[in-house]
Copies of this chain bind each other. A is one copy, B any other.
Amino acid sequence: MTIKTIYSFGEGKAEWKELLGGKGANLAEMTRVGLPVPPGFTITTEACRAFFAEGERLPEQVTLELRDALMELQTLTGKELGNPNAPLLLSVRSGAVHSMPGMMDTILNLGLNDETVKGLAQLTGNPRFAYDCYRRLIQMFGDVVLGLDHYHFEQIMERHKHAAGLRLDTELSAKHLHAIIEEYQAFILDKTDQPFPQDPFEQLRQAVEAVFQSWNNARARIYRKIHHIPDDLGTAVNVQSMVFGNRGNDSGTGVAFTRNPATGEKELYGEFLLNAQGEDVVAGIRTPRPINDLAHSMPEVYEELTSIAHKLEQHYQDMQDIEFTVEQGRLYILQTRNGKRTAQAAVKIAVDLVKENVIDREEALLRIEPEQIERLLHRQFAELGDRKAWVKGLPASPGAATGRIVFTADDAERWTKAGEAVILVRPETTPDDIHGILAAKGILTSRGGMTSHAAVVARGMGKACICGCEELRIDGSQKRVSAGERVLHEGDRISIDGSTGQIFIGELPMIEPVLSPECEELLTWADEMRRLQVRTNADTPEDAKKARSFGAEGIGLCRTEHMFMDAARLPVMQKMIMAETLAERKEALAELLPMQKEDFAGLFRAMEGLPVTIRLLDPPLHEFVPDLEELLVESTKQQMAGSIDPHKRKEQEQWIKKVRALNEANPMLGHRGCRLALTYPEIAEMQVEAILQAAEECQSQGIPVQVEIMIPLVGHVNELKRMRQIIEGAAMKRTERNGSPVTFRVGTMIEVPRAALTADEIAAEADFFSFGTNDLTQMTFGYSRDDAEGKFLHTYVDEKILPENPFMVLDRNGVGKLVRWASQQGRQTNPQLKLGICGEHGGEKQSIQFCHEVGLDYVSCSPYRVPLARLAAAQAEVKERRKQRISR
């Protein structure tokens, strides 16, 4: 490492985010554009990586540069670290490339010791303030650097408050605080065999190391995993001269968003705590006041803040989340960053920024995470009528949720694993609760505001959250919560509406959501941009209509087997399966025919001439018959009881025999898909007949129809060839009978690796390919999804043996290679070949990006993912255009 590892805020700029971290780069940028930022410097992420490379030791070079940077800072501020006459106090904060709010550690008031605290008391004329700062430093240092749980320090303080008969921290006098500090120092010496370091530079060195170390604490690692942040980036450390929001009622600290992060409305939004330091706001321990109050209490400060907010938004071309402190009437900006926001707000802000000519449409499209669009389709409560809320809190993260009450993060996780929907109810949340927030459907806290930990994290995850519901009395030890007369216990059901802050007892009915006008507008831009078409996987007219309302341009996959699972039809299906002769089987099929015809006619009507891809029967027949285990146990029971009549006994035996015959060692790889159709062609013939009858009926009623018949599980071109013969044979018979005017395409799923490998041959017989990436992933990896997810896939993803669950994100290196190969080879044989994807990956953004790159014609996904897919497809195109522009 020979390059510089520390930069003063005056040296850096926004573009150096990789090196300086998000916060450091922003502090530098703000300093550069002349905002009132307390001076300081940033230790680079590179230094952090070197720290880890040297076995968690600060490299010599960094220590040397640290001394130089400190000198410079002392010159700039006219203060000196450890000088009681002009004590320089510092904050030491983490600042990673990607924001990880509250995940890593911070130390404030660094530079205080038994001497400088006296100087500070004298200089400020406020001994209570000085000793409170010192107390906070020792407590934070003890917790973060020395690993002593802050609980111990709080205990000590509680004891002192109790002894003095006080309730609030703020009531403690300088003398009380002095005594507390002495006890803190004794506690540290006792626990660590080392005194609290009096050398301020030693404090600084240890603090920097501790912040670096906090990159790898458990909650930071979980957060990175959830947000797909690489583990080897490291964090920068920002060392900044302190300003104090806790120097009286002309001081304070707050957080301001340049727009409303819940709705996207253009308004200065945020919270402010008088006479407090920053961590009091973020931790949510005290409930802050809305930022508008500042307009009354400190109008100049409010004015300046508004102007700075506008300047920052214009500068960064995005909604900003600004941390500020007011020290004795003077405003300091401590941090700015792109503000986290709800999905709804994200869309509104992006669309508004286009209209305000701040960004263009391409940029707006990239601003929205496709998953956010999906989140907008989360369900909401139905009309409440005269139903009254039990209590009300702050609407911290929108969306509705219902579930059973739990009181700890661990319980939330445990109950969820057991299949229960839960609402996590806590006085406040801390970073240690993150796994519980992840597991819960919604979060409810009695303390903290819109920018409290719970609120920020829940918004990031798109979970419903209500904060600061102070009416609630939460008793975690007894696992109960009460308000007024009413007491609820663990396991009781509640419903929370994060958009309104209302909390209801019991489970409320939900309704289907609609897209906001801004969202519709954004998606229209997406439609103009994207090259990929978006279809839907739908088996019913209802789903088909829903998907069309979300913008689907056709059905990419209709699974006909779901139609047979209906209670009215299953017995007929079973009759077909139990048939001993072809004639019997045909009889049962004839019964199914009119039902199937109605199914298809419904879909054609719903799609009004858009393509409808119908896949012929796919699953093995044993999916339609009773479970063998149950049959055997039942039969054994009845046999032992001797209570069964011979006729019934015989029937039972026949069932067992048939089910046993149908049973397979590996049904995934067994007698299903076209293998079934080729051994029982009469089933496929019935389905084709039903499709044609339905299409004819619709056409005769003036409804246009575009039929695509899809063959599942083809692995050899001859399978498709035979299936085409069967289908065309059935169609021919119909044409001969009544001159059917229906035309159709015949295509195939590409879901067996061999089909992809021999796509050149198969394409000669296919009008289209649809990549069935669920099965293709199963077979390419050799994973049975049913078995893998419970038994080893979890471990594989946790231990990073696999970078992602390949059933969620398409595996580019393996499965993707097959998709690419098959697309190229297929098109080479048959340039007219249409290419699509209908596995679950068709509704996942990274996979859609891949489909775009490979040049597919369409993706097909579940109705609720159609808007997501429209956006993701547009983003893929924007990225491609930008790349081309750069390479030009």
The distance from the CB of A749 to the nearest CB of chain B, in whole angstroms, is 11
Residues of B within 8 A of A664 (CB): 784, 786-787, 791
**Does A568 have its Cβ within 8 Å of any Cβ on chain B?**
no
**Stretch of A101-109, A139-147, A373-381, A713-721 with 4 or more beta carbons under 8 angstroms from chain B:** A713-721
Interface pair B640/A636, CB less than 8 Å apart: yes
**Does A854 have its Cβ within 8 Å of any Cβ on chain B?**
no
Could you give, for residues 793-822 of chain A, a 1 whenever the CB lies within 8 Å of some chain B CB and a 0 otherwise? 001100111100000000101110110000
**Contact flag A757-B633 (CB < 8 Å), given A664-B787, A669-B783, A784-B666:** no
Name A280-338 residues within 8 Å CB distance of B: none
Residues of B within 8 A of A666 (CB): 666-669, 784, 786-787
CA–CA, A780 and B668, complex, Å: 13
**Stretch of A123-131, A345-353, A671-679 with 4 or more beta carbons under 8 angstroms from chain B:** A671-679
Interface pair A800/B718, CB less than 8 Å apart: yes
Interface pair B757/A675, CB less than 8 Å apart: no
The distance from the CB of A149 to the nearest CB of chain B, in whole angstroms, is 30
**Does A779 have its Cβ within 8 Å of any Cβ on chain B?**
yes
Residues of B within 8 A of A390 (CB): none
**Does A754 have its Cβ within 8 Å of any Cβ on chain B?**
yes
**Does A637 have its Cβ within 8 Å of any Cβ on chain B?**
yes
Name A747-805 residues within 8 Å CB distance of B: 751-754, 757-758, 761, 775, 778-784, 786-788, 791-792, 795-796, 799-802
Oligomer copy total: 2
Residues of B within 8 A of A386 (CB): none
Residues of B within 8 A of A226 (CB): none
Interface pair B675/A813, CB less than 8 Å apart: no
**Does A487 have its Cβ within 8 Å of any Cβ on chain B?**
no
CA–CA, A718 and B800, complex, Å: 8
Interface pair B633/A801, CB less than 8 Å apart: no
**Contact flag A817-B757 (CB < 8 Å), given A668-B665, A678-B795, A802-B716:** yes
Could you give, for residues 621-641 of chain A, a 1 whenever the CB lies within 8 Å of some chain B CB and a 0 otherwise? 000000011001100110011
CA–CA, A666 and B668, complex, Å: 7
**Does A722 have its Cβ within 8 Å of any Cβ on chain B?**
yes
Residues of B within 8 A of A817 (CB): 757-758
Find A757's partner among B636, B752, B780, B795 (CB 8 Å cutoff): B780
Residues of B within 8 A of A780 (CB): 715, 752-754, 757, 779
| A666, A715, A716: residue with the most chain B Cβ atoms closer than 10 Å | A666
Interface pair A781/B752, CB less than 8 Å apart: yes
Interface pair A782/B753, CB less than 8 Å apart: yes
Interface pair B786/A665, CB less than 8 Å apart: yes
CA–CA, A780 and B753, complex, Å: 5
CA–CA, A68 and B518, complex, Å: 90
Residues of B within 8 A of A779 (CB): 669, 753, 779-780, 782
Find A754's partner among B679, B754, B788, B815 (CB 8 Å cutoff): B815
Find A629's partner among B632, B669, B784 (CB 8 Å cutoff): B632
Q: How many A residues touch the partner, as a band?
A: 35 or more
Residues of B within 8 A of A669 (CB): 666, 668-669, 778-779, 782-784, 787-788
**Does A670 have its Cβ within 8 Å of any Cβ on chain B?**
yes
Interface pair A671/B814, CB less than 8 Å apart: no
Residues of B within 8 A of A629 (CB): 628-629, 632
Find A678's partner among B636, B637, B761, B801 (CB 8 Å cutoff): B801
Could you give, for residues 679-713 of chain A, a 1 whenever the CB lies within 8 Å of some chain B CB and a 0 otherwise? 10000000000000000000000000000000001
CA–CA, A665 and B627, complex, Å: 13
Could you give, for residues 451-494 of chain A, a 1 whenever the CB lies within 8 Å of some chain B CB and a 0 otherwise? 00000000000000000000000000000000000000000000
Interface pair A782/B715, CB less than 8 Å apart: yes
Interface pair A679/B795, CB less than 8 Å apart: yes
**Contact flag A787-B757 (CB < 8 Å), given A801-B719, A802-B718:** no
Interface pair B814/A754, CB less than 8 Å apart: yes
CA–CA, A815 and B779, complex, Å: 13
CA–CA, A784 and B713, complex, Å: 13
Interface pair A671/B791, CB less than 8 Å apart: yes
CA–CA, A368 and B751, complex, Å: 42
Residue of B nearest to A752 (CB): B782
The distance from the CB of A224 to the nearest CB of chain B, in whole angstroms, is 19
Interface pair B784/A670, CB less than 8 Å apart: yes
Residue of B nearest to A761 (CB): B813
CA–CA, A758 and B812, complex, Å: 10
Interface pair A668/B784, CB less than 8 Å apart: yes
Residues of B within 8 A of A782 (CB): 668-669, 713, 715, 751-754, 775, 779
The distance from the CB of A803 to the nearest CB of chain B, in whole angstroms, is 9
CA–CA, A783 and B714, complex, Å: 11
Find A640's partner among B637, B668, B761, B799 (CB 8 Å cutoff): B637
CA–CA, A716 and B796, complex, Å: 10
Residues of B within 8 A of A675 (CB): 791-792, 796
CA–CA, A757 and B719, complex, Å: 24
Residues of B within 8 A of A791 (CB): 664, 670-671, 675, 679
The distance from the CB of A51 to the nearest CB of chain B, in whole angstroms, is 25
CA–CA, A718 and B802, complex, Å: 7
Find A633's partner among B633, B665, B670, B719 (CB 8 Å cutoff): B633
Residues of B within 8 A of A781 (CB): 715-716, 752-754
Interface pair A718/B792, CB less than 8 Å apart: no
Residues of B within 8 A of A761 (CB): 813
Could you give, for residues 716-746 of chain A, a 1 whenever the CB lies within 8 Å of some chain B CB and a 0 otherwise? 1011001000000000000000000000000
CA–CA, A586 and B510, complex, Å: 52
Residues of B within 8 A of A668 (CB): 665-666, 668-669, 782, 784
**Contact flag A787-B640 (CB < 8 Å), given A629-B632, A753-B753:** no
The distance from the CB of A825 to the nearest CB of chain B, in whole angstroms, is 11
Interface pair A678/B813, CB less than 8 Å apart: no
CA–CA, A629 and B630, complex, Å: 10
CA–CA, A811 and B629, complex, Å: 37
The distance from the CB of A714 to the nearest CB of chain B, in whole angstroms, is 10
The distance from the CB of A671 to the nearest CB of chain B, in whole angstroms, is 4
CA–CA, A667 and B791, complex, Å: 12
Find A784's partner among B632, B665, B678, B754 (CB 8 Å cutoff): B665
Residue of B nearest to A760 (CB): B813
Name A641-667 residues within 8 Å CB distance of B: 641, 664-667
Interface pair A757/B665, CB less than 8 Å apart: no
CA–CA, A679 and B788, complex, Å: 12
Residues of B within 8 A of A751 (CB): 782
Residues of B within 8 A of A753 (CB): 753, 779-782, 814, 818
The distance from the CB of A679 to the nearest CB of chain B, in whole angstroms, is 5
Residues of B within 8 A of A788 (CB): 669-671
Could you give, for residues 568-602 of chain A, a 1 whenever the CB lies within 8 Å of some chain B CB and a 0 otherwise? 00000000000000000000000000000000000
Residues of B within 8 A of A813 (CB): 757-758, 761
The distance from the CB of A6 to the nearest CB of chain B, in whole angstroms, is 37
Residues of B within 8 A of A814 (CB): 715-716, 753-754, 757-758
CA–CA, A665 and B778, complex, Å: 13
Interface pair A811/B633, CB less than 8 Å apart: no
**Contact flag A792-B671 (CB < 8 Å), given A757-B818, A779-B779, A801-B719:** yes
The distance from the CB of A101 to the nearest CB of chain B, in whole angstroms, is 31
Residues of B within 8 A of A799 (CB): 678, 722
CA–CA, A713 and B792, complex, Å: 13
The distance from the CB of A808 to the nearest CB of chain B, in whole angstroms, is 16
CA–CA, A189 and B510, complex, Å: 86
CA–CA, A786 and B679, complex, Å: 17
| Apart from A665-B786, A671-B792: 20 A-B pairs, beta carbons within 8 A | A629-B629, A633-B633, A664-B787, A665-B667, A665-B668, A666-B666, A666-B668, A667-B784, A670-B788, A670-B791, A671-B787, A715-B780, A715-B782, A716-B801, A718-B800, A752-B780, A753-B780, A753-B814, A757-B814, A757-B817
Q: Considering the complex of A and B, which 7 residue pairs feature the smallest CB-CB distances, nearest first? A: A666-B784, A640-B640, A669-B784, A754-B814, A670-B787, A665-B786, A752-B782
| A-B CB contact pairs (8 Å), 5 listed | A628-B629, A669-B787, A671-B792, A678-B792, A757-B818
